[in-house]
Amino acid sequence: MTTVPVFPLNTVLFPGVTTPLHVFEERYRQLVKDLLAMPDPGARVFGIVAIREGYEVGEHGMQSAHRVGTLVQLTSVEPYDDGRFDIEVTGRQRLRMETMDTSGPYFRADVELIADLDEPAAHDEATRALATFHAYRTQLSELRGGPVLAGDLPTDPAYLSYALAATCLLTLRERQALLEADNALERLVMLRLGLIDEMRAMRALPSLPATEVARTRWSPN
């Protein structure tokens, strides 16, 4: 068990994925300042969890958050004269919050870090999931009239599952479910089957913009 600062957001971040964030709320400005005061860059870590109920900012703010999130490392900072920051963070490992302390300048939580165990079957599933993603990307590109979702992907099953989860057109609920999956094999199967369903939807409703197709409930009947 370890204690880390926690930054609740209306999004899900994954290990191995680098994400830009704009920091403007006072409590998280203070978090960035405290992290920068640490002499060891490797120690500049905090947790990001998705908000279940409530908002990132405002009078009422967050009401509740998902317990499973991601430990991230601060890797880049660009300060503004008015105290805001543009930062980049890289996901390091999943975490599970046990308790949250809201009494300080920003949230802190006791967390358990969740290891990703290597499973032999996950390597075969990674090959199948990657092939399905390439087919999905091709079909989506044809609908959009140009390349989409470009970029190289890792071959390690765990990091491939996180990269696909971060890349594909998914809702927050779907992303959270993937983050909470027990292992890479389960996550890759969920992604592959979801992509197959998305492709069936795009074939059934080709006249809709791709991003709408991906989020439209449909029936082949």
CATH of the domain at 73: 2.30.130.40
Same domain as 205, residue 164: yes
The stretch 119-144 carries a mean pLDDT of: 90
pLDDT value for 52: 83
What range defines the domain where residue 15 resides?
Answer: 2-114
pLDDT value for 206: 60
Decide which of 98, 114, 130 is a domain's last residue. Answer: 114
With 70 as the cut, is the pLDDT of residue 95 above it? yes
Q: 218: pLDDT confidence band, cut at 50, 70 and 90? A: very low
Q: Which residues pair with 194 in a beta bridge?
A: none
Decide which of 114, 130, 160 is a domain's last residue. Answer: 114
221 within domain boundaries: no
Same domain as 91, residue 15: yes
Decide which of 91, 114, 137 is a domain's last residue. Answer: 114
With 90 as the cut, is the pLDDT of residue 209 above it? no
pLDDT above 70 as % of the chain: 88
Same domain as 25, residue 105: yes
**Is the model's pTM score more than 0.75?**
yes
Q: How many CB atoms lie within 10 A of CB 214?
A: 22
Domain count, the chain: 2
With 80 as the cut, is the pLDDT of residue 65 above it? yes
Same domain as 138, residue 164: yes
pLDDT value for 54: 56
Which residues, at least 6 apart from 144, have a Cβ–Cβ distance to it below 8 Å?
209, 210
pLDDT value for 63: 61
The stretch 45-67 carries a mean pLDDT of: 73
Same domain as 125, residue 55: no
Assigned token pair, 55: 């908002």
Dist CA 81 CA 68 (whole Å): 35
